[in-house]
Structure 1
Amino acid sequence: MAATLTHDGAAFVNFRHFAFTEPHAHAYRWLDVKRFRLPDPSVPDRHLLAALLAHEQFRDDYAGGGVDPGGTRHGPYWLRLVTPEAYASVGRDGAARLLETWAEQSGPLPDTLAEALRREAYEPLVAADSVLHLNGLGEDEYHDWASVHGEFHELVLVDRAARRLTLLVAADD
């Protein structure tokens, strides 16, 4: 069952734009959000992942270059090595803990940043029927300058009722 996703917007939450009480507490963290419309809510998760991986918007090195239709990198990984099998189903609670641990590693967040993360990450997470975590890749799959990322976390949220797939990338650079 082939699926085609339609890109339906994006958001970027840059921790540098929020007032922290400690200098450099943001540690150059950011959240990149890409939204897609589902063609059919009955399409299985693995087919949706294959459609996402084939989409031009997935060709992003997340190192400042943005989407590159001819790109060969995805975050710290070689794009060709990112497959649907590299994603594992994870519960909403586990995904929320992952995001909270990452976001709050240097202490409490300013209220305005917490609100932006609630809107862009936690609300779609709560609504998701499926939450998939890219965790089946390691250092063997890193590309030649993967070390630009301190941490790199990727979640795919599937909300069948809203016919939406959301790609969340939370990273440090």
Structure 2
Amino acid sequence: MTKLVLDSQVLVNFRHHDFTGHGPHGCRWADVKSFRFPQGIQDSELLAALVAHEQFRDDYAGGGVDPAGTRHGPYWLKHVTAHAYLPVANTDTLRTLRSWASQHGSIPESLEKALASTVHAPIDSATSCYRLQDLGHEKFHDWGGVHIAFHEYIVIDQDRTLLTLLVAADD
């Protein structure tokens, strides 16, 4: 099994930015977890390694990573497999995340800079990108519908041996 090493974890929280005059942005955030991996590993093996990683056991609802956890985002962990991720163009990923970020109007320059450096930059340099497909409400865990929007991407940069898990959501 491929070993992924957690490189960094960053949270861009929209509540920490001044939205005066910028509309009702509410409680939104983007979570970024970066991992290093050995060179020459195929994407399919990287996806499987990430799903098996302890840092993947995160409900993204304030509880953080739970090593014994059974939830991932809105879903029961057992339903989120490497096969639940579909390839997507980097440009489509950027378009979705930019649309999500500005859905309630323009965003402050300070937040745009934070998003560009922490969220958009890994996508720009990625050799491949995958999105978590909608697994359906029947795969939701007991309170899995808490997020208004939930976007999850796995971004792989084979040149830099960097895998990034990006989650953007509304509470």
**TM norm structure 2:** 0.96
Match of 1:110 among 87, 108, 118: 108
Map residues 105-144 of structure 1 onto 2, 5 A cutoff: 105-144=103-142
The residue number in structure 1 matching 2:28 is: 29
Q: Equivalent residue of 2:69, what SS? A: coil
Counting matched residue pairs gives: 171
The residue number in structure 1 matching 2:38 is: 39
Counterpart of 1:36 in structure 2: which amino acid? F
Match of 2:70 among 69, 72, 88: 72
Structure 1 residues 60-96: Cα deviation after superposition (integer angstroms, max 9, x where no partner): 0001000000000001000010011110000011000
Q: Equivalent residue of 1:146, what SS? A: coil
Instruction: Output the CA distance in 2 between the equivalents of 1:161 and 1:33.
Output: 19
The residue number in structure 1 matching 2:97 is: 99
Instruction: Output the CA distance in 2 between the equivalents of 1:138 and 1:15.
Output: 27
Q: Which runs of 5+ in 2 are unaligned?
A: none
Q: Equivalent residue of 2:166, what SS? A: strand
Q: Could you say what the CA RMSD is over the residues aligned between the two structures, in angstroms?
A: 1.2
The residue number in structure 2 matching 1:12 is: 11
C-alpha deviation, 1:21, in angstroms: 2.8
Instruction: Output the CA distance in 2 between the equivalents of 1:130 and 1:106.
Output: 29
Instruction: Output the CA distance in 1 between the equivalents of 2:34 and 2:121.
Output: 13
C-alpha deviation, 1:140, in angstroms: 1.6
Counterpart of 2:31 in structure 1: which amino acid? D
Structure 1: which 4+ aligned runs deviate by more than 6 Å? none
Identity of aligned residues (%): 51
Instruction: Output the CA distance in 2 between the equivalents of 1:130 and 1:66.
Output: 27
Instruction: Output the CA distance in 1 between the equivalents of 2:112 and 2:140.
Output: 31
Instruction: Output the CA distance in 2 between the equivalents of 1:11 and 1:144.
Output: 27
Counterpart of 2:167 in structure 1: which amino acid? V
Decide whether aligned partners of structure 1 residues 23 and 122 sit closer, same or farther in structure 2, where only a CA change above 3 A counts.
Answer: closer
Instruction: Output the CA distance in 1 between the equivalents of 2:14 and 2:89.
Output: 26
C-alpha deviation, 1:136, in angstroms: 4.5
Q: Which runs of 5+ in 1 are unaligned?
A: none
Structure 1 residues 42-64: Cα deviation after superposition (integer angstroms, max 9, x where no partner): 21111101100010000000010
Given that 1:150 and 1:171 are in contact with CA atoms closer than 8 Å, whether structure 2 keeps it comes out as yes
Match of 1:54 among 47, 52, 59: 52
